[in-house]
Amino acid sequence: MFRVIDYEDIDKNRIDENHIIIDLRSPSEYESATIPRAINIPIFSNKERELIGTVYKNESIDKAKKIGVKVVSEKLPSIYEEVSKLDREYNNLVFFCSRGGYRSSSLVALFKSIGINAIKLDNGYKGYRKYINDHLPNIVKDIQFVVLYGNTGTGKTDILKELENQGMDVLDLEGCANHRGSLLGSVGLGKQNSQKMFESLVYDSLSKRKTNLVFVEGESRRIGKDMIPVYIYEAMNNGIGIKIQATMENRVYNLSKDYVHDTDNELIVSLNNLRKYLGDNNIDKYIELIKNHRYKEVIEELMIKYYDPMYEHKNRNYKKIFNNNNAKETAEEIIKWSENIKSSK
């Protein structure tokens, strides 16, 4: 008999801290969304999973199982090699598949029988998702958000990182989404996280907070293709707003640092998405400037003609305005100012 746990056991630290979570699903399932910090040891490849699923639906369950057993039996030696290495490193190995069925149950039973500290996650990824959906709305209720607003390029993300480095609780929504939020927001970052992965990372971040005072950057509700859950968005709008300002020179520097690093092709593709807002003449000019590596001119014009007008029509009340010349120093000023919030609660 093997041990079965719920995700709550992991979330509430009821399992040995020295554990690792192993996702047995196919690479495509894992890449779409998984449990944060889980590693992938797939039983089936994407094609194998598709074949077995097709046979299961269109032919017979028995035939699908036979194909699955054949595929797994051929892979067992290599799977065992990976698992045995992890068993020497970790006290517990927690395995999960989609629903806590055939894939995880069979492997956990096998590994447990040969002395590996294998544990099954009950109801698999489906059970984990239900846990996140049930608990994420509740975790936000006690949080007081301090929301950093400011024009594009004022260094809000760098300040958040410094706040975190200095021990403050931070929710990095753009980091969770792997997207910066604007039409150029994916440049240099690769594939954006799915909505499910975004929510998982948000929960993971908030569940590890030390206090109920959490710093976050002001965002539109949509970050690329991901949507901030409405209850988080409302909590941010009801939070304490502070404004970050910076000189045009510093803003250009910040954006150059984030966006310009062998990303010319991505920049050009993204600029084409702005044609309906800025017109063909402007975009054609910007593309030519990019090709000639004249990035600063493009960045400054985009801020003046597109980003600043879009931001400045929003009327907000700010509790405090900070001029950001150095992210570390600005973070220190914000922390000192935030002590008044803590003492007044």
pLDDT tens sequence across 79-123: 999 999 999 999 999 999 999 787 899 899 999 999 999 999 999
C-alpha closest to that of 153 among 241, 277, 249: 249
Dihedral angle sign, alpha carbons of residues 254, 193, 168, 236: positive
Comparing 305 with 100, the larger pLDDT belongs to 305
- pLDDT at res. 344: 45
Question: Please, where in the chain does CATH 3.40.50 lie?
Answer: 141-344
Secondary structure of 305-329 in HEC code, one letter for each residue:
HHHHHHHHCCCCCCCEEEECCCHHH
Q: In the chain, what percentage of residues exceed pLDDT 90?
A: 80
Which CA distances in Å does 287 have to 247, 277, 294? 25, 15, 10
Classify domain 141-344 by CATH architecture.
3-Layer(aba) Sandwich (3.40)
Instruction: With beta carbons less than 8 A apart as the criterion, state whether 103 and 43 touch.
Output: yes
C-alpha closest to that of 146 among 343, 342, 313: 342
Helix (H, G, I), strand (E, B) or coil at 119: strand
Is pLDDT at 345 greater than 50 in this prediction?
A: no
Question: Please, where in the chain does CATH 3.40.250.10 lie?
Answer: 3-132
d(CA 147, CA 242): 6
C-alpha closest to that of 327 among 212, 273, 246, 210: 246
**Residue 336 CB partners (closer than 8 Å, separation 6+):** none
Using CB atoms within 10 A of its CB, is residue 176 exposed (0-12), middle (13-18) or buried (19+)?
Answer: buried
- pLDDT at res. 183: 78
Cα torsion 76, 78, 79, 82 to 10°: value is 150
Q: Classify each residue of 153-162 as buried b or exposed e, where b means 16 or more C-beta atoms within 10 Å of its C-beta.
A: bbbbbbbbbb
d(CA 44, CA 216): 39
Which CA distances in Å does 271 have to 18, 203, 214, 311? 47, 33, 34, 19
Q: 313 pLDDT band (50/70/90 cuts)?
A: low
Mean pLDDT of the chain: 93
Fold of 3-132: Oxidized Rhodanese; domain 1 (3.40.250)
pLDDT tens sequence across 21-72: 999 999 999 999 999 999 999 999 999 989 988 988 898 888 888 898 888 8
d(CA 98, CA 123): 8
Q: In the chain, what percentage of residues exceed pLDDT 70?
A: 98
Instruction: With beta carbons less than 8 A apart as the criterion, state whether 21 and 124 touch.
Output: no
Residues 259-280 have a mean pLDDT of: 92
